[in-house]
């Protein structure tokens, strides 16, 4: 009897434990279902395969640029930030509004315009910008000569850039005329457009670092409106020579060993004596274009040409350029 009772009690306890276990399991399943219902299922990116291919191609173009290691890294960060912000929004997670107005610091010929153009196309593929085209302007395109003219000119350029990037070269020149100058009106018009069309236009200010910093100090409200700052350093001699090789290859020419060595030496001299406005890749482009014309002048009176001769830029073609008056030739 006791044994039966004992077994009966034991049996009853085991049943109770089973019931409790089942109840806990069902509760856990219900909780899991509730969590599943409250959160959307993982989704794939809304960027198509074709768009991903285009993005990969644009990143390839960026990587193909000589130097600019930190600039490339920041552009990759921007791309990743945009994609992850969109993924977070799909899960109803908090994400800051994308404010991508930028300041590009650097001397001429350091790749600022090229990077801006690639960036615009990339942001269009990521659906941040409707078009992603680039409109380049300077002071003369924005500042008028009489009352009301400046606002009109600014609005025209903003309209052209709508859906893409408005790239303002030497932006600090907008403030160079003093209090009575219409440049301040241009700045105010641009700031208003940045507020009114946050998702439809990106503004990039570009120019020399010292002048840009001075410009931002005299216009304290501007700095906070441009959260992304990219610094474009000057190229070294090896990078400039690599750019020269790329430029001649694109034009289906090639530098002889002697021409390349002479050019390296000349570029090193230019870097040692460089001024604040050293023109970097523009300097190299001028050398290449002038060397091609010099080669043509050297060959034009020949009766027979080989394919190799038509492609080869010799030391003498480059040397003649370096010996010319720099004040007449190296202007950018």
Whether residue 62 is predicted with pLDDT greater than 50 in this model: the reply is yes
pLDDT (tens digit per residue) in 278-287: 899 999 999 9
The DSSP bridge pattern shows strands 312-313 and 254-255 to be parallel
List, in sequence order, the alpha helices (H) in 127-256: 139-142, 149-161, 183-196, 209-218, 220-223, 237-250
* Per-domain boundaries in the chain: 49-232, 237-329
102 burial (CB, 10 Å; 0-12 / 13-18 / 19+) is buried
Predicted TM-score (pTM) of this structure: 0.78
From the options 3.40.50.300, 3.40.228.10, 3.40.30.10, 2.60.120.260, give the CATH code of 49-232.
3.40.50.300
CA–CA gap between residue 154 and residue 186 (Å, rounded): 6
pLDDT (tens digit per residue) in 71-128: 999 889 988 988 898 889 889 998 777 889 999 999 999 999 999 999 999 999 988 9
DSSP reduced 3-state for 235 = coil
Q: Do domains 49-232 and 237-329 have the same CATH topology?
A: no
Q: Which CATH architecture has domain 237-329?
A: Orthogonal Bundle (1.10)
Average pLDDT for residues 134-141, to the nearest whole number? 95
């Amino acid at each position: 009897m006791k044994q039966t009772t004992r077994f009966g009690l034991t049996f009853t306890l085991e049943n109770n434990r089973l019931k409790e276990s089942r109840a806990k399991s069902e509760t856990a399943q219900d909780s899991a279902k509730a969590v599943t219902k409250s959160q959307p299922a993982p989704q794939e990116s809304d960027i198509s395969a074709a768009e991903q291919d285009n993005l990969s191609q644009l990143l390839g173009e960026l990587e193909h640029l000589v130097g600019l290691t930190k600039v490339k890294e920041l552009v990759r960060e921007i791309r990743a930030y945009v994609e992850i912000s969109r993924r977070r929004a799909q899960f109803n997670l908090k994400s800051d509004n994308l404010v991508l107005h930028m300041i590009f610091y650097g001397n001429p010929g350091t790749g600022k315009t090229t990077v801006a153009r690639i960036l615009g196309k990339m942001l269009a593929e990521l659906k941040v910008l409707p078009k992603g085209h680039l409109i380049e302007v300077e002071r003369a395109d924005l500042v008028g000569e009489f009352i009301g003219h400046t606002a009109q000119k600014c609005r025209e350029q903003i309209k052209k850039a709508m859906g893409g990037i408005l790239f303002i070269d030497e932006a600090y020149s907008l403030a160079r005329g003093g209090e009575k100058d219409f440049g301040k009106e241009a700045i105010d018009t641009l700031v208003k457009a940045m507020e009114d069309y946050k998702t439809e236009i990106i503004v990039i200010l570009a120019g020399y670092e010292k002048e840009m910093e001075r410009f931002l100090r005299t216009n304290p409200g501007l700095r906070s409106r441009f959260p992304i700052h990219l610094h474009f350093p000057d190229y070294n001699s090896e990078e400039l020579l690599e750019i020269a090789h790329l430029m001649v290859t694109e034009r289906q020419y090639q530098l002889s060993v002697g021409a390349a060595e002479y050019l390296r030496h000349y570029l090193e001299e230019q870097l040692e004596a460089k001024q604040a406005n050293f023109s970097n890749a523009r300097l190299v482009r001028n050398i290449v274009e002038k060397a091609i014309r010099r080669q043509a002048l050297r060959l034009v009176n020949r009766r027979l040409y080989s394919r190799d001769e038509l492609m080869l830029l010799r030391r003498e073609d480059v040397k003649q350029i370096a010996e010319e008056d720099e004040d007449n030739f190296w202007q950018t």
